[in-house]
Amino acid sequence: MSRIGKQEILIPAGVKVTQGGNNVTVAGPKGTLSRVFKDDVAITVSATAVTLNIKRNDKFSQSLWGTYASHIKNMIKGVEIPYQKKLILEGVGFKSEVKGKQFHFALGFSHPVVVPIPEGITATADKNNITISGIDKELVGNFTAAIRALKKPEPYKGKGMRYDTEVIRRKQGKKTV
């Protein structure tokens, strides 16, 4: 049994949750999110809360129960307060800037790296601090991970792109005699 799925999800003031078939839409002051769910889990929307119950007592339905509850909680939280992730770019000559709807990076390659910013995300680059925010938690996390994968931090000098809370374990390197 899912502990997360059993809990009732409260709807705060200013947020409206509607359901049409398998589609759940959450509208709030920061925007609107919509997601299609499978019919293995029954979603019931009332005026003040959302409850989830499994239709069949099999392993697949039980695994979706808590997952769907977390998705709905994240949607409700995102339309109230946008999700935000921060990256720090470390290294001599490494630069980042936002031009229009694109990121332009100088990451030590022979060419500049240009990454388009997807719809629904706002991004800022202030010196070597990159801030990515949006109402969809999954989109913000995936885009931040894709940007970080361009130049992962290396363990010898710590150069590369890392999350602001990430600690890079440093290695000693070669010893001289």
Answer whether residue 46 shows pLDDT above 70: yes
Judge if 3-80 and 83-163 fold alike in CATH terms. yes
Residue 4 has pLDDT above 90, yes or no: no
Among 105, 111, 118, residue whose Cα is nearest residue 149: 105
Give the model confidence (pLDDT) of 144-157 as tens digits: 999 999 999 999 98
**Closest Cα partner for 82 from 25, 138, 133, 125?**
133
Helices (DSSP H) in the chain: which residue ranges?
3-6, 59-80, 137-148
Tokens (6 digits) for 68? 């769907």
* % of the chain residues with pLDDT over 90: 78
How far apart (Å, rounded) are the C-alpha atoms in residues 140 and 143? 5
Q: How confident is the model at residue 87 (pLDDT cuts 50, 70, 90)?
A: very high
pLDDT, mean over the chain: 92
83-163: CATH class:
alpha beta
Please name the amino acid found at residue 123: A
Contact 24, 43 (CB under 8 A): yes
pLDDT tens digits, 97-116: 999 999 999 999 999 999 99
Q: What is the mean pLDDT of residues 12-19?
A: 94
Q: Any idea where the domains of the chain sit in the sequence?
A: 3-80, 83-163
Distance, in Å, from the CA atom of 151 to the CA atom of 93, rounded to the nearest integer, reads 13
Mean pLDDT of 35-54: 92
pLDDT tens by residue, 52-78: 999 988 898 888 999 999 999 999 999
The answer to whether residue 163 scores a pLDDT higher than 80 is yes
Chain centroid to CA 71: 12
CA distance 42 to 5: 11
Question: Considering the domain 3-80 in this protein, what is its CATH number?
Answer: 3.90.930.12
Per-residue pLDDT, 5: 85
What does the DSSP assignment read for 110-121? SS-EEEEPPTTE
Please report which confidence band the pLDDT of residue 1 belongs to, taking 50, 70 and 90 as the band edges: low
Which helix or strand (DSSP H or E) is residue 127 part of?
none
